[in-house]
Chain A
């Protein structure tokens, strides 16, 4: 008989429950599919479900278990994936009309890794179109709602993954992060997410947005779950030329290690100006908690942080304008026939892309065009160096840095749609980290007066994901906030 609380258990616990025979992988899939059927109508987290395939994968795990074969680290764990990661034979739309009905002929590297670890794929999750946005309102298939308050956004662009994990519709999920897109939704939905160091996880099969910034990142309801997912997907892949050969570590082993003596840099620019008072209050309490764990808070300034929005919104759209040139109606996706080839490009792209994607392509094209390249793109890449140098200077004085993940808790659907710049300013704390390429985690650290989750972001030097797991886990254990389920979804 399946215990009714299996859906609230961590992925690591579920794997053990399957391995010891307490529950079958097939029962788990049925449980989660049942929850999706019951709850996802309200959330709109899933764009596509693959129930038959999931049951077949689960059955294979159960057979392997019965035969005494070794089981992978995610054996039987129901997972779901952001719909900008290619899945062979399963629709991959990037939440865009441009790719409605498109089915890739190959799996992304991270999808292959999840499968070999024994994970069971439930389906594909909603996002802002082509990962461009901070609210999942830019999806061509409707927004996803925040399970803590259905009138609010779950954040973006990985709103589907964050909402699905928070509402226990999937045990864990994979999202992607270019300027904050796993961290900010995790903060808004009260879950944990890791953005790895640039190059740590292969981008092969991740539909490209900004090639010097994109990373795949896990979301879970515990640091341990996110750490295990990271271990499964991280590592060198020759099919991604920017994938690094630096060895991975068993990140999960950092859970439970002491953090006494860790110097925690508190980013001064993260306190005040533009921040909700509940958010600054929650961060101050979090720093106190870290102090009681034996960490030493240090005041740190990142003087160029205030230029991060401008810098990012030149660099990322410039790279996006190049990457999205492939969507031209020739080889795949939507085609709107014009009088000639150029006309076909123009009509296809005008019909296939939503307003935010068009806006970013325009910004990027402008920044790269003759006469503007030096003043915009080249200048922004130089400011990027200054931002990177701020972090190097900070890490000479401390081991990690903390700030709020986002300046506010989840905002209302529709609230920021008429002002693109207001939406961009949401990402002020996550963007500079992406520009510097360093790893970061967002962990739940409190709730607002209205009961909305608030996240703390911790970042570390390049390839120090282990350090992040250590401190995030210690914090999580001290706070006990991570395993809370939204009241309507328990």
Chain B
């Protein structure tokens, strides 16, 4: 039997990096699907890409800059309106650390 392209442990590691609290059964299904997809992508290994530059943006562009002047932005209360929990004018979250 060939080596899986991604093991259960590797899948769990990726899920942790992505902050996805997947159940073991969800992760098992996901691992199988990812394995199949990554297997298909192995075809890229055959390509000779020596000397080829990567394309990050298909249309040539430079980062546009603007003059550093104050302009109106989203009002504070608008920015907080959709917050699940608020506290002291900010977004309230469960504690980060002890």
- A: residues with CB less than 8 A from B are 102-103, 105-106, 197-199, 212, 238, 241-242, 244, 304, 306-307, 309-311, 313-314, 321, 325, 328-335, 337-347, 349-350, 353, 358-359, 361-363, 365-366, 369, 376, 378-386, 388, 420-421, 424, 435-438, 462
Interface residues of B in 33-63 (CB under 8 A from A): 33-34, 36-38, 40-41, 43-44, 47, 49, 52-59, 61, 63
Given A197-B59, A331-B83, A332-B83, A307-B94 contact (CB < 8 Å): no
Given A349-B20, A350-B22, A369-B17, A437-B84 contact (CB < 8 Å): no
Number of A-B contacts (CB under 8 A): 164
Other-chain residue from B14, B33, B55 in contact with A385 (beta carbon distance below 8 A): B55
Q: Contact at A436–B34, with CB atoms within 8 Å?
A: no
Given A238-B64, A311-B44, A330-B93, A103-B59 contact (CB < 8 Å): no
Given A340-B96, A386-B52, A435-B20 contact (CB < 8 Å): no
- B: residues with CB less than 8 A from A are 6, 10-11, 14-15, 17-23, 26, 30, 33-34, 36-38, 40-41, 43-44, 47, 49, 52-59, 61, 63-64, 66, 74, 78-79, 81-85, 91, 93-97
Residue from A105, A366, A378 whose CB has the most chain B CB atoms within 10 Å: A366
Residue of B nearest to A379 (CB): B44
A353 CA to B15 CA, complexed, in Å: 13
Interface SS majority for chain B: loop
Other-chain residue from A212, A362, A376 in contact with B58 (beta carbon distance below 8 A): A212
Interface SS majority for chain A: helix
Q: Contact at B20–A346, with CB atoms within 8 Å?
A: yes
A435 CA to B22 CA, complexed, in Å: 31
Q: Contact at B20–A362, with CB atoms within 8 Å?
A: yes
Given A338-B94, A340-B96, A421-B36, A328-B55 contact (CB < 8 Å): no
On chain A, the residues within 8 Å of B44 by CB distance are 307, 310-311, 379-380, 383
Q: Contact at B78–A105, with CB atoms within 8 Å?
A: yes
In the complex, 18 of the A-B residue pairs with CB atoms within 8 angstroms, ordered by the A residue number, are: A197-B59, A241-B64, A306-B43, A330-B83, A330-B93, A339-B94, A342-B19, A362-B11, A363-B37, A366-B34, A376-B41, A381-B56, A382-B53, A382-B54, A383-B47, A384-B55, A385-B54, A420-B33
On chain B, the residues within 8 Å of A436 by CB distance are 58
Taking the closest CB of chain B, its distance from the CB of A368, in whole angstroms, is 9
Q: Contact at B34–A359, with CB atoms within 8 Å?
A: yes
On chain B, the residues within 8 Å of A349 by CB distance are 18-21
On chain A, the residues within 8 Å of B95 by CB distance are 340-341
On chain B, the residues within 8 Å of A106 by CB distance are 74
Q: Contact at B49–A362, with CB atoms within 8 Å?
A: no
On chain B, the residues within 8 Å of A385 by CB distance are 52-55
Given A197-B59, A212-B57, A383-B44, A346-B37 contact (CB < 8 Å): no
Taking the closest CB of chain B, its distance from the CB of A306, in whole angstroms, is 8
Residue of A nearest to B77 (CB): A105
